[in-house]
Amino acid sequence: MLSRLRFEFIRLSTLLAERLRNNFYLYLAALLTLAILLDAAVFHVGANMKQKAFDVVIKNRIFVPKPDPEIVIVDVNEASLAALAPDYGRWPWPRQVFGEFLEHLEEQQPKAVVFDILFSDADIYNPDSDAYFNDAIASTDNTFFPFLRLPESQDGLSQVKPGMIPGAKKIPGVKADPAATIAVVLPHFPAALQAGRLGTHNIFPDPDGIVREYKIWQDKQGWRLPSLPLDVGLAIGGKAPPQDSLLLNWRGGPFTYRYVSFSDVYRDMTAKTPKRPANEFAGKIVIIGSTAPSLFDLKATTMAKAHPGVEILATAIDNIKHNDPLKFWRGNVSYVLLSLLVVWLTAFAFFQNIERDRFDRIFGASQLLLLAISYIGVNLANIYLDLTGPVTWAVAYFSIAKIYALATDRAMQRVLASELPTGEEVVKVSLMLVLFDAPLPLGDAALKKIRRTLRDEALQPCRIDELKGTQSGVWGLFADMLAVSWTQAGPDIEKEAERLLALLPAILARQGVAEDVRIRHIIQHGAIRIGVEAAGEWRILFAQAVTNMEKTGVLPA
């Protein structure tokens, strides 16, 4: 049974080699072209690879930008919740706490005060506390507050029109729908609304749940809603990016920025004798947010499974301030075009029978080079070139094409050796040996090019093999030799052999081979019995051809 299966496999491989020949490489490239287009339109495997590769590259950067020293995060952490609980109870605290904090903070003249806390409802039990905080906000010109953009599916239920949102602007050249409404949750405090320093603080993860980008603005019915990082960044001299999302240029993992505990700062500010520096926050961008797990503002990001939302906000502000978000190719067009380019270049190399050993080295080096370009770009230029998908498609093509090439070569070798079921049938064969005598070996590359050219010129089915010019020991005596074999004999083969020999001088000239190369050849005919004896008889025929060639001396080609 196994021998029968082996025979069928050999016959199938031989059939493919004879029927398809090098056209297989074009068919394979066409098949992968269809796969690439389907992936870009439907399956998105390449996009997922891009995301995972991005995470690996960013986590392992050598040159990581430093966090802006002006950014300070005042953290409502678990320690702060516990420290202030005896006086103010459980979260949320009375707004007077934030009013007092803001008043003392403004005395130090910070560059900006950013609340990453959504004050959406009135404190009905402490209206005076709310009024206190509102007055504190009204006395500032550098405070920024978030509002929440609800899902678009709820827009029809809202009574808020885009023009009613402070900070929203009409998009030039786009007609606004006067009846359109938008679902948002705005700050409760009139002073924050009147100041207009508002922005969304929604964080949108990718489909795999990982945060890699920050939505800088959102367009709705001819209106543009800015994000909180954009509002702050522009106010402190930053530059708006050209696209609506930032690919975040992370400064490191969680707690990379300077953190101070809210309770520590608040207690010190309200103490009779403060111990902290009086100018601790002078000229700083102070972001007030929370890392307390109980307040549920932790996100999975490229850098960590639990990344504080306030630090994601800080990273976006930092990127806008320094105009250094990561730049990358967007959309499927570049992915598709580059994938097709590398696949078809690889197909062309196989189709043209470029020297296999050298091509293998070049291909392997080229794929490593593409990945290195991605890594170097992120480290030195803040540019992420996603080449993972194209490299993967190229490797897939190369692997299949390589298996086909090896399988068909092996199949043809076995056919010539006649490793078929035993029998008494005899096959007439012809073997031509061509020896190149030169002061120096031709070398493997030149010999392979000569072999490929002869094979392309052949009119009769044959196999052409070379004995490499770098063999050592006694086998070096057989170097720089081509063996052309036919599984037939007769006048047609004699004419074919003479025609191929006549082509050799021109082929050698095109390859730049030295003129002092002498060509010796011999044509040996014989009969091969089908079966296990075939391999031995091929060797005998080869030995007879070598012996006769040495006896005949130099024959002009």
Structure tokens at 222: 């001819």
State residue 420's pLDDT score: 39
Structure tokens at 49: 């690879």
pTM: 0.73
Highest mean pLDDT, choosing among 302-311, 329-338, 380-389? 302-311
Min mean pLDDT across 132-136, 176-180, 530-534 is at 530-534
Element (H, E) at 546: helix 534-552
Structure tokens at 458: 């052949």
Pairing of the two strands 143-149 and 112-115 = parallel
pLDDT digits (tens, 9 = 90+) for 440-478: 777 777 888 888 888 888 888 888 888 765 555 555 566
Pairing of the two strands 481-486 and 518-529 = unpaired
Contacts of 118 (CB under 8 A, 6+ apart): 146, 147, 148, 185, 187, 201
In whole angstroms, give the CA distance from residue 200 to residue 172: 21
More confident call, 78 vs 555: 78
CB atoms < 10 A from the CB of 72, how many?
21
State residue 423's pLDDT score: 46
Domains of the chain are 2-60+329-412 (no CATH), 71-323 (no CATH), 420-552 (3.30.70)
pLDDT digits (tens, 9 = 90+) for 410-442: 655 555 544 333 444 778 889 999 988 877 777
Structure tokens at 300: 């999975």
